Amino acid sequence: MDLFNRDELRRLAELQDDVCISLYLPTYRNESDWSQNTTRLKNLLGEARDQLRNQDYREDLIDEILADARQLLDRPGFWRQSIGDGLAVFITPETTERFRLPLSFDEIAIVGDRFHLKPLFPLIAANNRFYLLGLSQNDVRLYQGTHQSISEIRRSEIPSNIVEAIRQYEESEQQIQSHVQNRASEPDGQRMDAAFHGHGGGDADDMSAEPQDELKRFFREVDESVSDYISGEEVPLVLAGVSEYLPLYREVNSYSHLIEDDLVSGNPESLDVQELHGKAWSIVEPVFQEQERDELERFEQLYYQNEDMASDDFHEIIPGCAYSRVDTLFVPVGEYRWGRFDADTNTVEVHESQQPGDGDLLNYAAVSAYLNGATVHALNPENMPGGRSIAATFRYRADVSAAESG
């Protein structure tokens, strides 16, 4: 699976070109369903081709723009390795990027002058994404998850050779037990095993210090790599592993959003991906639900008691997102408002269906708000506050409303 976070979103959001193609499709992990993956991508490339034709692009130029993405159709290895539950492909005349993600998408192809990123918000928004760090006897693995699934992030920077550190730690534990048993069996209380272990008059804690420190040093390397990798994020991190190792990791942890009170206990190697996801989601879901509930209650309170600080008016919220006025935004996934917004003149043009040059204004709102530091909740339409089509709270009075143009 490929990592997608705030930095990736910002980079894609800031990219503007005459042609920016966004493709989203659900993908299947089971070998029997792999043919559906390539069929879906082929169909979406056909839709993108039709949209480019409608914008009067020549066939040879269209072939050139779509060439790299079409090569994925003939790469079986791409669909077999860490495919995840959804694929997002972003194409410009110069580049093609793809992200295999733990999130299923509706099939869509959108051509514009910016990328369409709203389908990714259930992955990067405040109410859905988490990380899981698995510490097993033989390996260290980092996963990224959503409500739908969990997938491993393969990164060479994260050290995985935990075997030797754990071996020393477990041998030390066995020595301690043997030491205590031998001492208890001596009638005169003499510590006959001390010379054997080479610790003289030291106690059991001294005996375990060196291997325990070795394991901590290894965990510290893991923590540094993981923290560097997800630095700047405000996403929960869950630990999974054998219970005696995890307190040692907590001692060296530096990631501020580690969930310390709950963990996935047991050897992660003995759990399949679905079991691992289920156990982790049961830990993070209450955290997300509480955050989301607090934000929804705050919106309703402000909306009815201080109307200048909350709104469901599309023409107020769009400029609010553009001008860094929005504090919290609620947008529905799977819905679109086609049109254009001119931030220089504060004018908006809305169309019932997509026209050439249009973008999804809900996508514009979500991306702009997020990049300006707002909290964005991407919700199913039935979970939107009061069934509204868009809603927001503001950092300060919303006194700007976009005028209609066109």
Burial of 106 (0-12, 13-18, 19+ CB in 10 A): exposed
Please tell me whether residues 155 and 259 are part of one structural domain. Answer: yes
Domain that holds residue 264: 130-286
- The residue among 258, 286, 314 that closes a domain is 286
CATH of the domain at 67: 3.30.960.10
The reply to whether 170 falls in a domain is yes
- What local confidence, expressed as pLDDT, does residue 177 receive? 53
Residue by residue, DSSP assigns 111-177 as EEEE---GGGHHHHSTTT-EEEEEE-SS-EEEEEE-SS-EEEE--TTS----HHHHHHHHHHHHHHH
Element (H, E) at 249: helix 246-252
Tally Cβ neighbours within 10 Å of residue 74: 8
- Final residue in a domain of this structure, among 79, 99, 124: 124
Two tokens, residue 122: 């259930």
Whether 63 is in a domain gets the answer: yes
Could you tell me where the DSSP H helices lie in 3-124?
Answer: 6-14, 34-54, 59-71, 76-80, 121-124
- For residues 269 and 153, state if they share a domain: yes
Same domain, 73 and 149: no
297 in a structural domain: no
Do 232 and 326 reside in the same domain of the chain?
Answer: no
- Pair type for strands 375-379 and 326-332: parallel
Sheet holding 86-91, edge to edge: 96-101, 86-91, 16-26, 108-114
CB 135 within 8 A of CB 245: yes
Question: Residue 300 has what pLDDT?
Answer: 94
Same domain flag for 74 and 119: yes
> Do the domain assignments include residue 1?
no
Q: How far is Cα 112 from Cα 115, in angstroms, rounded to an integer?
A: 7
Query: Are 24 and 87 in contact, with CB atoms under 8 Å apart?
Result: yes
In a domain, 352, yes or no: yes
What does the pLDDT read at residue 199?
37
- Residue 1 has a pLDDT of 59
270 and 163 within one domain? yes
Residue 248: half-sphere exposure toward Cβ, Cα within 13 Å: 23
Residue 292 lies in a domain: no
Using only C-alpha atoms, what is the Rg of the chain?
A: 27
Same domain, 57 and 175: no
Q: Is residue 80 part of a domain?
A: yes
66 domain-assigned: yes
Q: Which pLDDT value is given to residue 179?
A: 46
CATH number at residue 381: 3.30.1330
Res 203: pLDDT = 44
- pLDDT in the model for residue 211: 59
On whether both 358 and 385 belong to a single domain, the answer is: yes
Q: Do 92 and 149 belong together in one domain? A: no
Number of structural domains (the chain) is 3
Q: Are residues 149 and 251 in the same domain?
A: yes
Q: Are residues 263 and 370 in the same domain?
A: no
The bridge status of strand 237-241 relative to strand 310-311 is unpaired
Same-domain status, 167 and 203: yes
Q: Do 380 and 122 contact (CB within 8 A), yes or no?
A: no
DSSP code at position 74 = G
pTM score, whole prediction: 0.69
- 396 to each of 126, 307, 308, 311, how far by Cα in Å? 21, 11, 8, 12
Q: pLDDT tens for the chain, 406 residues: list them.
A: 577 777 888 899 888 889 999 999 999 877 667 788 889 999 999 999 999 999 899 999 999 999 999 999 888 878 776 677 899 999 999 999 999 888 889 999 999 888 999 888 877 765 678 899 988 777 888 888 888 788 888 766 677 767 655 655 555 555 545 544 554 444 554 443 433 333 334 444 433 445 577 788 888 888 988 888 887 777 899 999 877 778 888 899 999 889 987 778 777 777 888 888 999 999 998 988 888 889 999 999 999 998 889 999 999 999 999 999 999 999 998 899 999 999 999 999 999 888 877 889 999 999 999 888 898 888 889 989 999 999 999 998 877 898 888 6
CATH number of 146's domain: 3.30.420
- Residue that finishes a domain, picked among 76, 100, 124: 124
Cβ neighbour number for residue 293 with a 10 Å cutoff: 10
Contact assessment for residue 166 and residue 215, using Cβ atoms and an 8 Å cutoff: yes
